[in-house]
């Protein structure tokens, strides 16, 4: 710099710097510069508190900067390390801003009052040994949950005392903040160049941890998955479904994981935070089960089949038939599961509340009803009078000349001249995968490899609606006709006490059947319009031969030609085959 420029700088101040374009650079005032730094793009941290440019904090900062010269810009960040929960930061930012407004206004008022007093004493030339000014003031901010405490130090004014470790420790003690205090911070803050107008985390409490609730580990599945595996030869082993889970006496069914105790916490004010202990859960003890000696396990008190009823595990004794159901066993009615190693011979009835497993065939003229699943390893061979019912699923090698009622899904290799009523899906994809003759009515879907035959035998596929409810109605109607015929026959007989007794019983049965039929008719009438609007049901097949009839409610389509890889469904009230 030349001598001329130096003299001009002393008299008129430093010359403004110029930009490359020649325009002078405008120097910001300390207050405006601090606000600009605070609002800069680098301050997008959600934990950073942003204040308006006219805030009292910046006025205090401006006063200190004029007295001390260089001073780093204020920085109010609740979480420098990024370790605090976001919810806590969002909650405390508004509280911090309100608290800062009050303390900064009070500090600014005190500073101006002290400055005016100093000027007045100077004008009056009053001699006073007391120094004029305010000492450094650590302001402490405690979170609402008392787990965190921050400190913001206001600098001294005039001849006030600078921040010392003793001043900071005394402020913490006066506020009762004695737990979790950051000793390193208190040691270095007195000589840190950024000690003023910056927010520091001074103390950290210990949060409480609630105990974990108890849990139960099951060794037997509560929900049985009914999945059939098809081998590389497209064959299904109907004997390997693993639907029955047998246990021996004393075998564990499930084990209890006990709850853990809660761990209490501590606030920065050295107050205990209580913690909740985990809740215990009871073992699902049901029939034929008992607790182990230590009370942590549920074991079977007898050998049998384990089933979860929705609330508890229970062991059901399984009825094992080592051979056929014939005259040596008679008709079977059982509350649990039935395992039949042989066949169900013609004319016999098997009814069970649980699952039924048949290792052989169900012959013509027999009746089988399962409250759960029905598995027939070799197939169902009927003569038109065979009736098979299952309230869940049916798995059979084949079905021929039989009436099938199933409330969930049916899976088989072939259906020949059968009458099937299924509220779920009919899957005929394994093995031959053919449906030939008869009628198959499924509420959701029919999937087969082939439907019908080249000889155009009449094969009907009905979709949608309520197949099982219609089956029940047909059964009741058939029963009504039989009862009416029986009633007419009894009325033609001579009067006798036996006739009166039989007539009374027949009339009671007739009235019961009529009420049941009326109830079914009402149920069908209530949901008839709803089912029509849904347009549910779908046929998927590799080939559908000519002569196959496809029905959706009252709409029927008869195929005139052979269709390959076809899908039939209801679209806008019409049957569409794609």
Adjacent-strand bridge partners of 462: 441, 551
Strongest mean pLDDT among 227-231, 413-417, 461-465: 413-417
What is the maximal distance between C-alpha atoms in the chain? 150
pLDDT for position 124: 63
The answer to whether 264 touches 275, Cβ cutoff 8 Å, is yes
User: Quick check: 34 pLDDT over 80?
Assistant: no
Query: Over the chain, what is the mean pLDDT?
Result: 84
Report the share of the chain in percent with pLDDT over 90: 36
Contacts of 423 (CB under 8 A, 6+ apart): 406, 407, 408, 443, 444, 466, 467, 468
β-strand pairing of 157-158 with 133-134: antiparallel
User: Quick check: 317 pLDDT over 70?
Assistant: yes
- Please state the length of the chain: 578
Measured CA to CA, the distance from residue 51 to residue 40 in angstroms comes to 12
In Å, what is the CA distance from 302 to each residue of 202, 306, 355, 547, 557? 64, 10, 19, 56, 57
Q: Which residues of 235-261 are buried (b: 16+ CB within 10 A; e: fewer)?
A: ebebeebebbbebeeeeebbbbeebee
pLDDT for position 22: 44
Measured CA to CA, the distance from residue 305 to residue 315 in angstroms comes to 5
Q: For 431-446, what is the mean pLDDT? A: 91
pLDDT for position 473: 84
pLDDT for position 152: 92
Lowest mean pLDDT among 233-242, 289-298, 472-481, 557-566: 233-242
pLDDT for position 375: 94
pLDDT for position 530: 61
Confidence category of residue 181, pLDDT binned at 50, 70, 90: very high
The answer to whether 506 touches 483, Cβ cutoff 8 Å, is yes
Measured CA to CA, the distance from residue 434 to residue 420 in angstroms comes to 14
Instruction: Kindly report, residue by residue over 101-133, the tens digit of the pLDDT.
Output: 899 999 888 888 877 777 776 666 555 555 567
Q: At 319, is the secondary structure helix, strand, or coil?
A: strand
pLDDT for position 157: 84
Q: For 484-491, what is the mean pLDDT? A: 84
Lowest mean pLDDT among 80-84, 292-296, 448-452: 80-84
DSSP 8-state assignment for residue 327: T
The answer to whether 517 touches 469, Cβ cutoff 8 Å, is no
Confidence category of residue 402, pLDDT binned at 50, 70, 90: very high
Other C-beta atoms closer than 10 Å to the C-beta of 570 total 20
pLDDT for position 26: 37
Contacts of 331 (CB under 8 A, 6+ apart): 348, 349, 350, 351
Instruction: Kindly report, residue by residue over 238-272, the tens digit of the pLDDT.
Output: 656 666 778 888 999 999 999 999 999 999 999 99
Kind plus residue range of the DSSP H or E element containing 172: helix 165-174
User: Quick check: 36 pLDDT over 90?
Assistant: no
Lowest mean pLDDT among 155-159, 161-165, 251-255: 155-159
For the chain, domain boundaries: 30-204, 208-317, 478-527
User: Quick check: 304 pLDDT over 70?
Assistant: yes
User: Quick check: 9 pLDDT over 70?
Assistant: no
Confidence category of residue 312, pLDDT binned at 50, 70, 90: very high
The answer to whether 131 touches 160, Cβ cutoff 8 Å, is yes
Measured CA to CA, the distance from residue 186 to residue 477 in angstroms comes to 93
pLDDT for position 18: 44
Lowest mean pLDDT among 68-72, 387-391, 488-492: 68-72
Measured CA to CA, the distance from residue 4 to residue 24 in angstroms comes to 20
pLDDT for position 248: 85
pLDDT for position 520: 77
Taking the CA atoms of 33, 34, 35 and 38 in sequence, report the sign of the dihedral they define: positive
User: Quick check: 316 pLDDT over 60?
Assistant: yes
pLDDT for position 233: 62
The answer to whether 189 touches 200, Cβ cutoff 8 Å, is yes
Question: Which of 343, 346, 372 lies closest to 358 in space, CA to CA?
Answer: 343
Confidence category of residue 393, pLDDT binned at 50, 70, 90: very high
The answer to whether 456 touches 545, Cβ cutoff 8 Å, is yes
Strongest mean pLDDT among 1-15, 59-73, 425-439: 425-439
Confidence category of residue 398, pLDDT binned at 50, 70, 90: very high
Predicted TM-score of the model (pTM): 0.55
Q: At 192, is the secondary structure helix, strand, or coil?
A: coil
pLDDT for position 19: 40
pLDDT for position 25: 39
pLDDT for position 8: 53
Question: Which of 311, 395, 319, 322 lies closest to 354 in space, CA to CA?
Answer: 319
Contacts of 539 (CB under 8 A, 6+ apart): 445, 446, 447, 451, 461, 463, 550, 566, 567, 568, 569
Contacts of 275 (CB under 8 A, 6+ apart): 208, 209, 210, 211, 262, 263, 264, 265
User: Quick check: 556 pLDDT over 70?
Assistant: yes
């Amino acid at each position: 710099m030349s001598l001329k420029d130096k003299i001009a700088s002393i008299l008129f101040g430093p010359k403004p710097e110029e930009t490359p374009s020649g325009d002078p650079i405008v120097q910001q005032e300390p207050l405006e510069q601090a606000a600009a730094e605070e609002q800069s793009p680098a301050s997008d941290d959600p934990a950073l508190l942003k204040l308006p440019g006219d805030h009292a904090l910046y006025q205090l900062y401006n006063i200190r900067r004029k007295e001390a010269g260089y001073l780093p810009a204020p920085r109010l960040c609740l979480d420098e390390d990024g370790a605090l929960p976001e919810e806590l930061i969002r909650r405390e930012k508004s509280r911090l801003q309100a608290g800062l407004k009050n303390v900064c206004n009070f500090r600014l008022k005190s500073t101006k009052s002290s400055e005016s007093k100093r000027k007045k004493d100077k004008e009056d030339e009053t001699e006073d040994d007391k120094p004029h000014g305010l000492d450094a003031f650590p302001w402490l901010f405690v979170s609402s949950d008392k787990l965190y405490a921050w400190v913001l130090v206001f600098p001294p004014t005039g001849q006030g005392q600078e921040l010392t470790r003793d001043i900071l420790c005394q402020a913490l003690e006066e506020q009762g903040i004695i737990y979790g205090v950051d000793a390193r911070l208190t040691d270095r803050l007195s000589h840190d160049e950024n000690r003023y107008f910056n927010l520091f985390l001074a103390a950290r409490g210990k949060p409480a941890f609630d105990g974990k609730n108890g849990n139960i580990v099951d060794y037997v599945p509560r929900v049985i998955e009914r999945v059939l595996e098809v081998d590389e030869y497209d064959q299904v082993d109907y004997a390997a479904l693993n639907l029955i889970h047998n246990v021996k006496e004393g075998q564990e069914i499930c084990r209890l994981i006990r709850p853990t105790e809660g761990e209490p916490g501590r606030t920065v004010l050295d107050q205990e935070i209580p913690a909740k202990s985990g809740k215990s859960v009871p073992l699902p003890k049901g029939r034929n089960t008992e607790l182990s000696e230590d009370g942590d396990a549920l074991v079977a008190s007898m050998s049998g089949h384990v089933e979860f009823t929705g609330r508890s595990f229970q062991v059901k004794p399984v009825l094992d038939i080592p051979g056929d159901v014939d005259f040596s066993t008679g008709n079977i009615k059982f509350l649990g599961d039935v395992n039949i190693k042989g066949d169900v011979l013609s004319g016999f009835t098997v009814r069970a509340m649980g699952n039924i497993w048949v290792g052989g065939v169900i012959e013509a003229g027999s009746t089988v009803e399962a409250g759960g699943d029905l598995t027939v390893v070799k197939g169902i061979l009927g003569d038109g009078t065979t009736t098979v019912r299952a309230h869940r699923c049916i798995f059979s090698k084949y079905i021929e000349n039989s009436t099938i009622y199933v409330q969930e899904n049916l899976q088989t290799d072939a259906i020949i001249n059968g009458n099937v009523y299924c509220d779920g899906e009919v899957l005929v994809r394994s093995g031959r995968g053919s449906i030939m003759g008869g009628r198959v009515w499924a509420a959701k879907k029919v999937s087969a490899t082939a439907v019908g035959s080249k000889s155009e035998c009449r094969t009907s596929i009905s979709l949608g609606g309520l197949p099982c409810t219609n089956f029940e109605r047909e059964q009741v109607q058939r029963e009504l006709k039989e009862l009416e015929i029986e009633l007419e026959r009894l009325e033609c007989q001579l009067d006798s006490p036996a006739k009166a007794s039989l007539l009374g019983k027949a009339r009671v049965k007739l009235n019961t059947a009529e009420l049941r039929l009326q109830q079914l008719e009402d149920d069908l009438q209530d949901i008839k319009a709803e089912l029509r609007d849904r347009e549910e049901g779908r046929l998927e097949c590799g080939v559908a031969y000519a002569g196959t009839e496809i029905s959706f409610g009252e709409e029927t389509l008869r195929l005139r030609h052979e269709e390959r890889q076809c899908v039939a469904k209801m679209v806008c009230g019409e049957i569409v085959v794609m």
